[in-house]
Amino acid sequence: MAELTYREAVAAAIAQEMRRDENVVFLGEDIGAAGGVFKTTVGLLDEFGPLRVRDTPISEQAILGAAMGAAMTGLRPIAEIMFSDFLAVCWDIVANQMAKARYMTDGQVSLPLVVRTANGGGSRFGAQHSQSVENWAMTIPGIKVVAPSTPADVKGLFAAAVRDDNPVLFFEQKSLYASKGEVPEGDHVEELGKAKILREGDDLTIVALALMVPRALEAAERLEKSDGISATVIDLRSLVPLDTQTILAEVAKTGRMVTVEENPRLCGWGAEISSIVAEEMFYELDGPIVRITTPHIPLASADHLEDMMIPSVQRIYDEIRRAFS
Amino acid sequence: MAKKPGNKSFEVDLANDDIGEEVRINLFRLQLECRHVEQRANDLFLQNLIKGTSHLGLGQEAIAAGFAGAMESDDYTFCTYRGHNHTLARGASMTGILGELMGRECGLLGGKGGSMHLTSVEHGAMGSYAIIGAHLPIAVGAAWSSQYRGSSQVTVCFFGDGTTNIGAFHEALNMAKIWELPVVFVCENNLYMEYTPIGNVTAVENPAADRASAYGLESIIVDGNDADEVYRVAKKAITKAREGKGPSLIEAKTYRHSGHSRADPGDYRPDGELESWLERDPVKSYRQRLIDFGFPKEEVDLLEQEVLNRVDEATETAKKSSPPSEEAIVKDVWADGGSSWRN
């Protein structure tokens, strides 16, 4: 084990996969000489050279298109989209091309590729550089959607994404880049589609993702200490595939579910999970499902405004306490 | 220089012909296949055996044939929803194409893609793309892959005149040039962006060629209705790419004999325009050229009859093929062959 930051784990994960397989190549804006605008790719150009670590122009369609064409013809590319908000300028390649190529060609085409991107708020960047858009990806059949909350999962889930033969959108939460954690050394690979139970309780099950995971954990500690409410916390880690078995089993034990998501309210991923739970285990629930989300409003940039919009530890704590009063 | 009189485009030194009989017969056969499969597709649509839409390449066969004739079997083709010709010219089966158009099990894509997405990876036909511009960056990726793997494969990417006004065209050309990739971009300028004359909506006269200099590329225009001319320019650009000398952009002037798609009778075309282009019908002109060159007319007729017989056989086979089974619906979303999004 070594203690790494979330951002160092990104570079470590890319390096691990590039060392393992010569067909893994990496392209994106400012990823080479600059080491990434979030410093997530430092050292990769030096180790792997400009043929495998390619700086691109500001051409998001070309970045993702090139990744797709390369994946169709024998490589396993990693593409970086600097901010997940920018996926909107190349969404055609994601939603119409990558997601559908295999199905439409009756399996003639495989796309072993990863699109990694800095997602989510908390960095005071305003409405076009702070969105949490993993729910966009979740609505498209044919794309896997992964979002780690810890440095260890960054490495393990990223390795799994690179080794997967399908297109994977890998959402790194940019406000977690400075967070630290123990990361297994050597070859570390997790399985996509397996949620992680981080804490077990009796009264409710909190389902969270990415930045919402540490906040949900802290809120759960406070609920236990201050109010005697004991919560299970699940880190989903992956929206597609979705580990419904773990969710359903854990909610069955506690009888209550709270989802905590950074997505704006309408059609955030919590809505889909709430719908599955309501449909499949309604009579095992002891009370209404609670969704804690960012309001359905573009994110404001001022720190005190942004902090009021994205679910905070305090808000998670308050909303759960209210639901239990 | 032995010139044939009375044929302006026909200037060939027969003693030192750069194309040769074998290639010419192949170019003619490829054009015939495209022509007759497209006409059959039209007939089957009128019989309600093909549903939905399709975008025919009638009149544009010389481009598909000229390039396919100049490519190696492991080269890559990327094309648009007007892609029947290109997929066929790379060697995909007529039964697979007509079956796909008819939504049958024997279709190239098992009935899951349809007219606008014909693909035959085993023949290097890497897909037909129905969102304008999308496949240019994807073709860049295939060329990048060839370059990285050190293979000698060349990627040829076809698109229409309308594509030159979308951002992906510009992103792809720039990236192809800065990385000096082995890719040949081919604009099939058939004068219309769907229903609108391309000249009405484009800042330059030649929508592709006049943009070439912006990407450090030579401006190349070719008569897209002359398979020999297309073959020559294709050979040159493909050879350049294969030798590691970078990308090319070629604008082939041509004309679509039918409307944009099934829904379009092409009424917006000025009187006489279609007729004047029909006089330059690439298939008819090429047939005449072969005869002028001294190929026996009977052999030319026989070649055409053979192609027609194959189209008939393919049609009957496709008609007899079952509709796809229900299991096909949940197959091949993912690489494991399945479609599951949850456990």
Torsion over CA: B68, B74, B75, B81 (sign)? positive
CB-CB: which of A62, A106, A109 is closest to B175? Answer: A62
**Cα dihedral: A98, A100, A105, A106 (round 10):** 120
Q: Which residue has the higher pLDDT, B54 or B88?
A: B88
The answer to whether A268 and A135 are in contact (CB under 8 A) is: yes
Report residues of chain A scoring pLDDT below 50.
none
Angle at B114 between CA B111 and CA B120, to 5 degrees: 85
pLDDT in tens, B123-133: 999 999 999 99
Number of domains making up chain B: 1
**What are the residues facing B158 on neighbouring strands?**
B186
Residue contact A105–B109, C-beta within 8 A = yes
Q: Which two tokens stand for residue B105?
A: 């099990």
Q: What's the pLDDT tens digit per position in B47-69?
A: 999 999 889 999 999 999 999 99
Does the pTM surpass 0.90? The reply is yes
* Residue B108 CA to its chain's centroid (Å): 17
Give me the pLDDT at residue B7, please.
43
- Asked if B110 has any chain A CB less than 8 Å from its own CB, the reply is yes
In a domain, B342, yes or no: no
* Chain A residues touching B113 at Cβ < 8 A: 104-106
From chain B, pick out residues whose CB is under 8 angstroms from the CB of A51: 148
Per the prediction, chain B carries an average pLDDT of: 94
Query: How distant is the Cα of A169 from the closest Cα of chain B, in angstroms?
Result: 14
Q: What is the extent of the structural domain holding B69?
A: 17-314
DSSP A55-90: E--S-HHHHHHHHHHHHHTT-EEEEEEEEGGGGGGG
For residue B231, tell me if it sits in a domain: yes
Does B1 map to a domain? Answer: no
Of A74, A112, A141, the CB nearest to B145: A74
ipTM over 0.85: yes
Nearest by CB to A107, from B179, B332, B340: name it.
B332
| Chain A contact present for B129, CB below 8 A | yes
CB B134 to CB A75 under 8 A? Answer: no
Q: What percent of chain B has pLDDT over 90?
A: 91
Does the N-terminal peptide bond of residue A77 adopt cis geometry, omega within 30 degrees of 0? Answer: no
Confidence of residue B9 (pLDDT cuts 50, 70, 90): very low
**What residues of chain A lie within 8 A of the CB of B340, using their CB?**
241
Contact: A245, B148; criterion CB under 8 Å: no
> Which one of A104, A241, A242 has the shortest CB-CB distance to B113?
A104
Average pLDDT (B143-147) is 98
Q: Tokens 């076809």 belong to which residue? A: B158
Nearest CA in chain A to B127: A105
**pLDDT confidence of residue A261:** 98
B203 touches chain A (CB under 8 A): no
> Token pair for residue A311?
């679910």
Cα(B29)–Cα(B68) distance, integer angstroms: 12
pLDDT beyond 80 at B16: no
Q: How far is CA B264 from the centre of its chain?
A: 20
Residue B182 pLDDT greater than 90, yes or no: yes
**Does B141 sit within 8 Å of A71, measured CB to CB?**
yes
Q: Is residue B339 part of a domain?
A: no
The answer to whether residue A304 is catalytic is: no
**Amino acid B243: pLDDT:** 98
Domain-located, residue B323? no
Q: Is the pLDDT of residue B111 over 50?
A: yes
Q: How far lies B273's CA from each of B58, B224, B267, in Å?
A: 15, 17, 11
Q: Choosing among B123, B135, B148, which should be mutated to test the A contact, i.e. which has the most A CBs within 10 A?
A: B148
Kindly state whether residue B328 falls inside one of the protein's structural domains.
Answer: no
Q: Which backbone phi and psi does A262 adopt, to 5 degrees?
A: -85, -15
Residues in chain B within 8 Å Cβ distance of A110: 335
pLDDT of residue B262: 81
Residue B12 lies in a domain: no
- Sequence length of chain A is 325
| pLDDT tens for each residue of B286-315 | 999 999 999 999 999 999 999 999 999 999
Q: Say whether B76 and A73 touch across the interface (CB within 8 A).
A: yes
- Which residues on B lie below 8 Å from A97 (Cβ)? 129, 131, 134, 138
Q: Which domains does chain A have, with CATH numbers?
A: 2-183 (3.40.50.970), 196-324 (3.40.50.920)
Report pLDDT for B15: 59
Q: How far is A223 from chain B (nearest CA, A)?
A: 31
Whether chain A has a CB inside 8 Å of the CB on B181: the answer is: no
CATH of the domain at B97: 3.40.50.970
**C-beta atoms surrounding A141 within 10 Å:** 14
Comparing C-alpha atoms, which of A143, A131, A53 is closest to residue A96? A143
- Give the DSSP H or E segment for B3: none
B-chain residues within 8 Å CB-CB of A103? 112, 332-333
The shares of helix, strand and coil residues in chain A, as percent rounded to the nearest 5, are: 40, 20, 35
Contact assignment for B127 to A101 by CB distance below 8 Å: yes
**Chain A CB within 8 Å of residue B342 CB:** yes
Tokens standing for A228? 């005697």
